[in-house]
């Protein structure tokens, strides 16, 4: 497909943005592994499985092949292995994949898990055409991807006939808001150019040492309609879409923690969608 000069320049900008994002993740993987937010030691000690509200929606995964896109250091991936799935994790960060393999060994789950380093766009190629029963995508994933249609095409290539997608992610309305209040600061829709976040620290440790203030991150928003229509256009049937007034991290400082990685709007305040879950099936 021929491309004009504007498209070529946009591709360079996207490459630069993704390279900056990778540098940020590479630096912060060790911080996340050691953080109270992820509580790796507690997860190992208590042999925790997946989040209750996710397990209730996805159901029994015993004996199923599950691939987790953008798996970070594998804690969520391995949680599904704990309840019987054979799991594969994909992430673009070598540091994260190294940490995931180490965590799998510590958890005694290395024989039922595999981890590969690749960006989402290359996941199907890296896995050599393997098909899965479940594609799983967890919180804080879609915002790092420039084009939702490209993501949906990869999901379709990874799923076997009858295979299911399960995604639990930040709601795009919440994603478009200022970090302190429900006021729009960014576009609700997918735009060609990303928005930049130069915040210090990391969501898992707001007081982390050496927070890399000189390495910004770049993100893209994708509306619910764009996500749904991209999946439909690549042969998936939407089975269920739920919008939630809670999320699994403190997206805004005024949210109230209610246990089990849930933060919600305080009583008496107008509710807004903070996260969403979507389930879809590949029908052909």
Report pLDDT for 244. Answer: 95
Is residue 218 within 8 Å of 241, Cβ to Cβ?
no
CA distance 183 to 161: 42
Does 8 have pLDDT greater than 50?
A: no
Residue 88 neighbours by CB under 8 Å, 6+ apart:
65, 66, 67, 68, 77, 113, 114, 115, 116, 127, 130, 132
CA distance 43 to 109: 13
Structural domains of the chain in order of their starting residue, each with its CATH number: 5-282 (3.40.50.150)
Does 258 have pLDDT greater than 90?
A: no
pLDDT tens, position by position, 73-103 = 999 999 999 999 999 999 999 999 999 999 9
Does 276 have pLDDT greater than 50?
A: yes
CA distance 93 to 217: 14
Does 212 have pLDDT greater than 60?
A: no
Mean pLDDT, residues 6-12: 43
CA distance 231 to 240: 13
């Amino acid at each position: 497909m021929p491309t004009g000069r504007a498209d070529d320049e946009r591709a360079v900008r996207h490459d630069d943005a993704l390279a900056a994002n990778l540098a940020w993740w590479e630096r912060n993987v060790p911080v996340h592994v050691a953080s109270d937010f992820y509580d790796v030691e507690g997860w190992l000690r208590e042999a925790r499985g997946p989040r209750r509200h996710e397990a209730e929606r996805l159901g029994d995964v015993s004996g199923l092949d599950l691939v987790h896109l953008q798996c970070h250091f594998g804690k969520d991936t391995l949680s599904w292995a704990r309840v019987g799935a054979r799991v594969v994790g994909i992430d673009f960060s070598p540091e994260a994949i190294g940490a995931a393999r180490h965590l799998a060994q510590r958890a005694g789950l290395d024989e039922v898990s595999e981890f590969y380093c690749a960006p989402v766009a290359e996941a199907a190629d890296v896995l050599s055409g393997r098909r899965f029963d479940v594609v799983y995508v967890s919180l804080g994933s879609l915002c790092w991807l420039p084009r939702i249609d490209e993501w949906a095409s990869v999901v379709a290539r990874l799923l076997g006939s009858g295979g299911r997608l399960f995604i639990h992610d930040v709601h795009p309305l919440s994603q478009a808001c200022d970090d302190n209040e429900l006021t729009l600061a960014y576009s609700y829709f997918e735009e060609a150019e990303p928005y930049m976040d130069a915040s210090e620290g990391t969501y898992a440790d707001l007081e982390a040492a050496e927070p890399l203030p000189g390495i910004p991150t770049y993100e893209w928003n994708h509306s619910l309609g764009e996500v749904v229509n991209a999946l439909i256009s690549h042969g998936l049937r939407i089975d269920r879409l739920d919008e939630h007034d809670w999320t699994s991290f403190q997206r805004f400082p005024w949210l109230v923690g209610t246990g089990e990685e849930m933060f919600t709007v305080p009583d008496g305040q107008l509710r807004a969608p903070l996260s969403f879950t979507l389930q879809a099936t590949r029908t052909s």
